[in-house]
Amino acid sequence: MNRGHEGTDIFYGNKNKSQFIDYLAEATTKLKIKIFAYCVMDTHYHLVLENSDGKMSEFMKRLNGHYGSYYRMVSGGKGYVFQERFKSTLIDRDAYLLQSIAYLLRNPVRAGIVSNAKDYTWSSIEAYYSNSTNSSHDIVDAEFVNELFESKEQLMAAIHTNGARELPVKKTRYGNYAGTLIRRILSRG
């Protein structure tokens, strides 16, 4: 995830959110990063992705750099667009992945923007269990997510229950981590 410098609304308006999603699609295609979920809010964005090729830093640099240039071109000003380097959390296994996706998709509900996550336009929620022709949904590996949740009803139930809970993220000397495996690694010394 990343947010606007000093909490600035850097994704205000539909055009800016749409442009960000276009840059997300471009970076995903170019660097072969799998996206499982996304949500673009006015001040920040969240992604759940797979860093199988170890190109996440390059991916994020490209995404933030392209959007930052675009934002400065249309909004003016100077200096940083994003608050800092992106934040990331390593996800241990499918149970935490399910919870992370549900948490991300519930973000607009927690923020009070919509009362139901399915009503938020700027997330990947419509890509799952759908025949949507919206090209912004093509960037999401919906088939993988559909298999994880098994049905649209299970996805919506997870968003309602698991998405309402804070993620079980632990801060370690290796970075943020959602899972249990790290305890075994750290206990070995």
Which residues span the domain enclosing 101? Answer: 2-164
Q: Is residue 184 part of a domain?
A: no
Taking the model in full, what pTM does it have?
0.85
Lowest mean pLDDT among 23-32, 83-92, 118-127: 83-92
Q: Does residue 188 fall inside a structural domain?
A: no
119-149, pLDDT tens digit by residue? 999 999 999 998 766 655 689 999 999 999 9
Whether residue 174 lies inside any domain: the answer is: no
Give the 3-state secondary structure of the chain: CEEEHHHCCCCCHHHHHHHHHHHHHHHHHHHCCEEEEEEECCCEEEEEEECCCCCHHHHHHHHHHHHHHHHHHHHCCCCCCECCCCCCEEECCHHHHHHHHHHHHCHHHHCCCCCCHHHCCCECHHHCCCCCCCHHHCCECHHHHHHHHCCHHHHHHHHHHHHHCCCCEEEECCEEEECCHHHHHHHCC
CATH code of the domain covering residue 136: 3.30.70.1290
The total number of structural domains that make up the chain: 1
**Does the pLDDT value for residue 90 go beyond 50?**
yes
Least confident residue range of 45-49, 93-97, 121-125 = 93-97
